[in-house]
Amino acid sequence: MTSSRVHVGGADPYDVVIGTGVLAELPGLLGEGVRTVAVVHNEELPEIARPVREALEAAGLVVHPLPVPAGEAAKEVGVLAGLWSRFAEVGVTRSDAVVGVGGGATTDLAGFAAASWLRGVRAVLVPTTLLGMVDAAVGGKTGINIAQGKNLVGAFHPPAGVLCELTTLESMPREDYISGLAEVIKAGFIADPVILDLVEDDPEGACGAAGPHTRELVERAVRVKADVVAADLRESGLREILNYGHTLAHAIEKAEDYRFRHGHAVAVGMVYAAELSRLAGRLPAGLVDRHRAVLASVGLPTSYRADAWPALREGMRVDKKSRGATLRFVVLDGLAEPGRLAAPAEDLLAAAYRRVSG
């Protein structure tokens, strides 16, 4: 086993274990007194959940695999209610635990199920995608979607630990892996420019798990998020910077009925936020160009349909960063210098979108 740890501080501290052969650490992360473990996993990938189950059973735990739909279809009220019923049937008590295994949608659901069952039971997350490792599983945000928007129902529920088994990335489809790179690149723009240097050094290598910088990219992106959420778990201020590019991205996902890859939407959203920053006189054109160049170098989109603006503008009205009727954006004042832009003028919003429409 080769691994490293990123510590997430705060009121409920935990470790993110990153490496190969790390599943042996899973029982230890659950803590004392656990007898029954509900393993929530993607129903289409039972083979991913199998080694998790075996690691838990080897420690003498009673394990109940609970399959859920793949992707965003898992993050529905009906699926969550089904998990509650299953928790009752298998006897998950307050001293027991939930383990979420899969991509970001699965770990979001598993985390919220743990947060809401008996007013909160322990959860350990085992993300199996790049997006899950660097974003969804770290930070304690859990939730589901409703028709009006993504992640509007949820809770802050820090896990007892996160295991990033890097070998699971090897079987990811290339497009899905590249989608996850958007969140890695985002971490570079808001906090750690070395990430951008590593991607620019070898764009093709960055596009797969076998690349020379994979482990460092994952560790750096996780550390950016860990540092932010340790200082601001409940998104009262600093944590908003992690939503760079997400205001437009969530509107795109909603317009596409969540069939558009999250990372692809975030890529477009980052270019939009950069253009908004430039038009507001806060970001030089060269850094906007760098957004387009680094994202395009790994095959991520940098534009979206011109005719979509009315629907996207309406979709942005329901955004978690909004305060009352005031729309707020995370923008950049320079490389690794995030800021906020509140209540931008409508003509500014439209002008920025024209720069990313194609």
Residue 7 counted as an annotated binding residue: no
Point out the catalytic residue in the list 262, 278, 292, 328: 262
Alpha-carbon distance values, 149 to 152, 240, 271 (Å): 6, 18, 22
Bridge partners of residue 41, in order along the sequence: 67, 101
Residue 254 counted as an annotated binding residue: no
Residue 104 counted as an annotated binding residue: yes
Residue 114 counted as an annotated binding residue: no
Point out the catalytic residue in the list 72, 183, 240, 275: 183
Residue 168 counted as an annotated binding residue: no
Residue 167 counted as an annotated binding residue: no
Residue 105 counted as an annotated binding residue: yes
Residue 244's CB is within 10 A of a number of other CB atoms, namely 24
Point out the catalytic residue in the list 41, 53, 122, 141: 141
| 75 in active site | no
Q: Kind of pairing, strands 122-127 and 161-165?
A: parallel
Question: Is the CA virtual torsion 133, 134, 135, 141 positive or negative?
Answer: positive
Residue 183 counted as an annotated binding residue: yes
| 261 in active site | no
| 32 in active site | no
Q: How many CA atoms lie within 13 A of 122 on its CB side?
A: 24
Residue 141 counted as an annotated binding residue: yes
Angle (CA) 28 38 160, round 5°? 40
Residue 15 counted as an annotated binding residue: no
150 within 8 A of 161, measured Cβ to Cβ: no
Point out the catalytic residue in the list 43, 200, 235, 256: 235
Element containing residue 287 per DSSP (H, E): helix 285-297
| 321 in active site | no
| 262 in active site | yes
Residue 142 to residue 137: CA distance in whole angstroms: 9
Point out the catalytic residue in the list 41, 75, 215, 250: 250
| 94 in active site | no
| 264 in active site | no
| 291 in active site | no
Residue 107 counted as an annotated binding residue: yes
Q: Which residues are catalytic?
A: 119, 141, 183, 225, 235, 239, 243, 246, 250, 262
Binding residues: 104-108, 128-129, 141, 150, 183, 246, 262
Binding residues for NAD(+): 104-108, 128-129, 141, 150
